[in-house]
Amino acid sequence: MKKIINKLIFIFALLPLLAGCEKDKEIVVVEPVENYTQLYGLGTIFSWDSNVPTELKLIEQNTFAIDKVIKYSEENKQFKFILEKGDWDKVRYLVPTATDDGTAVKVITPGEYDMLMCSEMTGDLRDHFWGIPEGSDGTYRITVNVKKLKLTLEKISDETEEPEPEIKTIYGLGSAFGWDSGNPTGLTP
């Protein structure tokens, strides 16, 4: 019963917005989410492709993290986040609540920052990013709480090279191992 009442409240709250929509816009109703299980990064330090973005690791309920090398660039559009994969106009973004004057970037240092959820679907899209100050390159831990709309940035080292990925498993194929790539022979480290 509580879920039905919550849905009705959501629909009635949405009605004034729908009355002002343009006829040629596709209306998409997004159900309230109790727990977010995926978050993706876009920008210079991630992928720019919203169909194949970089996934952040879920570290606790509604909280995601990733360690990334961030190097200052003149454009400085280092990162923002999306909640779904897909077409640029059909995903929800998490961006800075405000940017520096005359730019699309909010320059940040280690600390906690408020975020804004926006999208083209709801008509409030902001193409904004977070960036770092010049001279502060390094490896940072980026933590995002999607429910609280909070971003935490922590510098963890001055290293500016991405670490080599750790290879945990290797498989053999061929006459000595078998030819079935669907069932290869694992080698012992």
**What is the per-residue pLDDT across 141-179, written as a single tens digit (0 to 9) for each?**
999 999 999 999 999 999 888 666 666 677 666 777 777
pLDDT for 119-143, tens place per residue? 999 889 999 999 999 999 999 999 9
pTM, full prediction: 0.69
Which pLDDT score, from 0 to 100, does residue 78 have? 96
Which pLDDT score, from 0 to 100, does residue 167 have? 66
pLDDT at 117 over 60: yes
Which pLDDT score, from 0 to 100, does residue 161 have? 80
pLDDT at 27 over 70: no
Q: Is the CATH code 2.60.40.1930 the one for domain 33-186? A: no
How would you list the strands of the sheet with 80-82, edge to edge? Answer: 54-55, 40-42, 80-82, 93-96, 111-118, 150-157, 138-145, 63-70, 57-60
